[in-house]
């Protein structure tokens, strides 16, 4: 990969350059501040950008600018996460794919900290550079649907992180999120799991073994012919996209193996939709109070008897894996 390094610490950037070149990568260019970075990236687009969170003239703002134009995977470099935690997460929210701790050059043991950088480079190469090496998008015969709101990104990352590469269902997420941030969140979630993650496209058939995220301010729905679509209707919803609207369309049109999950979030969106799924004999799960950042949506789902099971976050992934793993045997026994 061709890697650009934007770091004010010249000794550290030299150490990273030598390490990465020894690992088979090429250095595209080096920048010492954000103004120089923007000038160089306009004329020479790298495969990956290593960006120092302390880079002069606002690394978070430049992350937004790069991702809003001609985007490339950005890996944030931070000398001390505790000192820069808020800015690191701001950069990730703006579209950076991940962050890696890399002490300043004067700190003891800087050379020994390079292994995490190698691991992040391999992850980025697998997910973003080499066409993500995604499996062929064959149609799914089983479906997992998930709704989340406040606290959802971290809960989703945890849930998806336990899913194996062989997890076959199509997984569709409706997260309450401003539409411009959806592609960035999809890219970030892709770094947290072994499955391909992207925003859902209007008119597409549910792909096997892929995670799709609602990607516009319109409602995502499943149509009668088994395809995903975006629609402005109904207009009188508090949330756009609405979890209830999506879940109810799935309950109406999906007739095969199905599970629905409501994760942490404020309000009641998803409760009635989860109940509709349960009435269609889907496995329905609500995150428990102890592990929810906000126990609003899961509680509402429990209150209307929409949740067949109430589980701590750490148990939801294994339960879903087991549920879909036994689907073939259950179908054969029912015949």
Q: Confirm if 204 and 228 have CB atoms less than 8 A apart.
A: yes
- Strand pairing partners for 99? 76
Catalytic residues: 149, 176, 269
3-state secondary structure of 142: strand
CA 311 to chain centre: 21
CA 332 to chain centre: 34
Indicate the Cα dihedral angle 179, 134, 29, 69, nearest 10°.
Answer: -20
Instruction: At 27, give phi and psi (nearest 5°).
Output: -95, 125
**Cβ within 8 Å of residue 210, ≥6 positions away:** 134, 135, 137, 140, 170, 171, 195, 196, 197, 198
**Residue 320, exposed/middle/buried by CB under 10 A (0-12, 13-18, 19+)?**
buried
């Amino acid at each position: 990969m061709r890697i650009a390094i934007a770091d004010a610490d010249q000794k550290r950037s030299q150490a990273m350059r030598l390490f990465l070149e020894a690992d088979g990568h090429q250095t595209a260019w080096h920048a010492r501040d954000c103004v120089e970075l923007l000038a160089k990236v306009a004329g020479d687009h790298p495969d990956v950008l290593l960006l120092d969170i302390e880079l002069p003239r606002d690394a978070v703002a430049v992350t937004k600018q790069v991702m809003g134009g001609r985007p490339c995977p950005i890996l944030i470099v931070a000398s001390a996460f505790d000192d820069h935690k808020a800015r690191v997460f701001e950069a990730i929210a703006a579209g950076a794919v991940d962050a890696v701790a890399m002490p300043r050059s004067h700190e003891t043991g800087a050379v020994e900290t390079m292994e995490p950088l190698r691991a992040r480079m391999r992850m980025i190469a697998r997910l973003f550079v080499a066409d993500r090496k995604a499996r062929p998008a064959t149609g799914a015969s089983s479906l997992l649907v998930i709704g989340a709101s406040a606290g959802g990104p971290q809960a989703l990352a945890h849930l998806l992180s336990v899913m194996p590469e062989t997890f076959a269902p199509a997984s569709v997420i409706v997260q309450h999120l401003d539409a411009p941030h959806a592609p960035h969140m999809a890219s970030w979630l892709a770094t947290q799991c072994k499955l391909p993650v992207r925003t859902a496209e209007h008119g597409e058939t549910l792909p096997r073994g892929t995670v799709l995220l609602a990607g516009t301010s319109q409602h995502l729905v499943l149509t009668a012919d088994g395809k995903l679509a975006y629609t402005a209707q109904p207009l009188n919803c508090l949330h756009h996209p609405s979890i209830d609207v999506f879940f109810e369309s799935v309950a109406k049109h999906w007739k095969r193996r199905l599970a629905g999950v409501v994760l942490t979030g404020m309000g009641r969106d998803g409760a009635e939709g989860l109940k509709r799924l349960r009435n269609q004999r889907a496995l329905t799960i609500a995150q428990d109070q102890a592990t929810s950042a906000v126990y609003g949506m899961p509680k509402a789902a429990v209150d209307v008897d929409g949740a067949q099971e109430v589980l701590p976050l750490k148990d939801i992934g294994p339960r879903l894996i087991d549920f879909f793993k036994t689907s073939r045997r259950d179908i054969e026994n029912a015949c």
